[in-house]
Amino acid sequence: MGLTQKLQKTLTIVVVFTILLSIFIPGCPQKHMNQENQNTAVAETSAADPISIHQKAIAVDMHVDTAQRLLDEHVDIEQQLSDGHFDAVRAKAGGLDAQFFSIWVEPQLFGIGGAKAVKRADDQIAVVRALAEQHPETWLLATSAADIRRAASEGKIGALLGLEGGYAIDERIENVKRYYDLGVRYMSPAWSVSTSWAGSSGDDVGATRGLNEFGKNVVREMNRLGMMVDVSHVSDPTFWDIVQTSTAPVVATHSACRAIADVPRNLTDDMIRALAKTGGVVNVIFYPEHLEPGWSQKKKQVDAEIATMVQDASAAESGDAVHKKLARDRVRQREYVRRLPPVTVARIVDHIDHIVKLVGVDHVGIGSDFDGVQITTSDLATVADLPNLTKELLRRGYSESDVSKILGGNMLRVMEQLSH
Ligand SMILES: [Zn+2]
């Protein structure tokens, strides 16, 4: 018997033995999967029920843009909505335990600082806090890992706050604490427009702009308070300045891998390694443009094709600038589904796999960007479909313990470090 045959025989014995073990010993603990025993892991997990594994895990989504819907559209997310990607009914169906609501100040409408930007952030924080206060049977306003665990044990959803773009701190260091005191637990220094103190991946100035001294002081103040620094949307120089300045784990709340989908919003392999070294987590976004190779170029073509249609919808809307944007987005939603190739949950897991291969399973999580994007993957289209992610992870050989880390366990670990 050659060496290969011996190995095959040994593997067969291991697989058979594992199946027998899982049959005769209820709750036989699943071992951590690695590349060598992937076949064994598949045999173990195929005996387990994906839905019960999903329900058992504490699922924490790091990013949705539903706060703007609450504020601008006055949607009642206690009911199942017929549009959008997120509400309490679908979140419960999807087994979600905690949701970070993005507090997003769009610079084009509200400025990169000043009273309007501050008010826009404060108004969104107020609607999320009101949601939790008015519906304590559904929501638990959370600021820590302990709060999230309590929400999960009480069958509620933890509602958390994150600032997307540092516009609302209005270049004043004391405002970092002001937002911390209002419950904000992460902040990205810039969204798609650079500030004077932090470069964005979305504009030209960001290509060379990192953090200036004020920006570094903002990161230090966040570290001191226990507010996570989010690198999603920042420029490459800003990313490196953050990693070098922060003394706490750094996170990306909704990003993916540039090695698979080459867009500036995504992280290079070197960045993923550096972020993991801080103890942080890359939370993979569910947005096709950041997941699928070549999709971004196709979307640009479609944007050109539908430009007139989008403008007409905007002109026909009699409301304010926010409602005109909503009208434009509705056309995009409809036309992207019609004109762009579908992307599936398997592609999300390709990004998770890539990160796991680079830095291990302790540094990956989820950040859907639901309600912040005009199109989602076909089989993880709304929060209700979250169990499909677990099914795909299990199908690829991830163990129950791995799934639990990816769905939220890794972020709970980071948050526990912050509060110490
Ligand atoms: Zn974003």
Report how far ligand 1's centroid is from the alpha carbon of 15 (Å): 43
Q: Are 216 and 171 in contact (CB under 8 A)?
A: no
**3-state DSSP call for residue 335?**
helix
Report how far ligand 1's centroid is from the alpha carbon of 113 (Å): 18
Residue range 246-292, pLDDT digits in tens: 999 999 999 999 999 999 999 999 999 999 999 999 999 999 999 99
Report how far ligand 1's centroid is from the alpha carbon of 258 (Å): 16
Report how far ligand 1's centroid is from the alpha carbon of 296 (Å): 15
Report how far ligand 1's centroid is from the alpha carbon of 44 (Å): 37
Report how far ligand 1's centroid is from the alpha carbon of 24 (Å): 48
Report the distance separating Cα 8 and Cα 281, nearest Å.
Answer: 36
Q: Are 233 and 202 in contact (CB under 8 A)?
A: yes
Does the structure show a pLDDT above 90 at 326?
no
Residue range 101-122, pLDDT digits in tens: 999 999 999 999 999 999 999 9
Report how far ligand 1's centroid is from the alpha carbon of 14 (Å): 45
Report how far ligand 1's centroid is from the alpha carbon of 164 (Å): 7
Q: Are 85 and 139 in contact (CB under 8 A)?
A: no
Give me the half-sphere count of Cα atoms (radius 13 Å) on the Cβ side of residue 340: 31
Residue range 196-252, pLDDT digits in tens: 999 999 999 999 999 999 999 999 999 999 999 999 999 999 999 999 999 999 999
Does the structure show a pLDDT above 80 at 39?
no
What is the model's pLDDT at position 322?
Answer: 86
**3-state DSSP call for residue 331?**
helix
Report how far ligand 1's centroid is from the alpha carbon of 193 (Å): 12
Report the distance separating Cα 42 and Cα 15, nearest Å.
Answer: 9
Report the distance separating Cα 249 and Cα 251, nearest Å.
Answer: 7
Q: Mean per-residue pLDDT for 359-364? A: 98
- Tell me the pLDDT band of 399, cut-offs 50, 70 and 90: very high
Does the structure show a pLDDT above 90 at 415?
yes
What is the model's pLDDT at position 205?
Answer: 96
Q: Mean per-residue pLDDT for 8-21? A: 45
Report the distance separating Cα 168 and Cα 17, nearest Å.
Answer: 58
pTM assigned to the model? 0.87
DSSP of 363-388, one letter per residue?
GEEE---BTSSS---SSS-SGGGTHH
Look over the chain and give the mean of its residue pLDDT values, rounded to a whole number. 90
What is the model's pLDDT at position 386?
Answer: 98
Q: Mean per-residue pLDDT for 8-31? A: 42
Does the structure show a pLDDT above 90 at 38?
no
Q: How many CB atoms lie within 10 A of CB 105?
A: 25
Residue range 132-188, pLDDT digits in tens: 999 999 999 999 999 999 999 999 999 999 999 999 999 999 999 999 999 999 999
CA separation (Å) from 65 to 54, 70, 153, 207, 248? Answer: 24, 9, 25, 26, 26
Helix (H) or strand (E) holding 162: strand 157-164
Does the structure show a pLDDT above 70 at 10?
no
CA separation (Å) from 362 to 13, 257, 401, 409? Answer: 30, 16, 11, 9
- Tell me the pLDDT band of 48, cut-offs 50, 70 and 90: confident
**3-state DSSP call for residue 229?**
strand
Report how far ligand 1's centroid is from the alpha carbon of 306 (Å): 23
What is the model's pLDDT at position 418?
Answer: 84
**3-state DSSP call for residue 334?**
helix
Report how far ligand 1's centroid is from the alpha carbon of 69 (Å): 15
Does the structure show a pLDDT above 50 at 36?
no
Q: Are 188 and 230 in contact (CB under 8 A)?
A: yes
CA 332 centroid distance within chain? 22
Report how far ligand 1's centroid is from the alpha carbon of 7 (Å): 48
Q: Mean per-residue pLDDT for 62-69? A: 97
Question: Identity (one letter) of the amino acid at 378?
Answer: S
Dihedral sign, CA of 180, 181, 185, 186? negative
Report how far ligand 1's centroid is from the alpha carbon of 370 (Å): 10
Dihedral in degrees, nearest 10, Cα atoms 343, 346, 352, 356: -150
Does the structure show a pLDDT above 50 at 18?
no
Report how far ligand 1's centroid is from the alpha carbon of 108 (Å): 15
Report how far ligand 1's centroid is from the alpha carbon of 52 (Å): 31
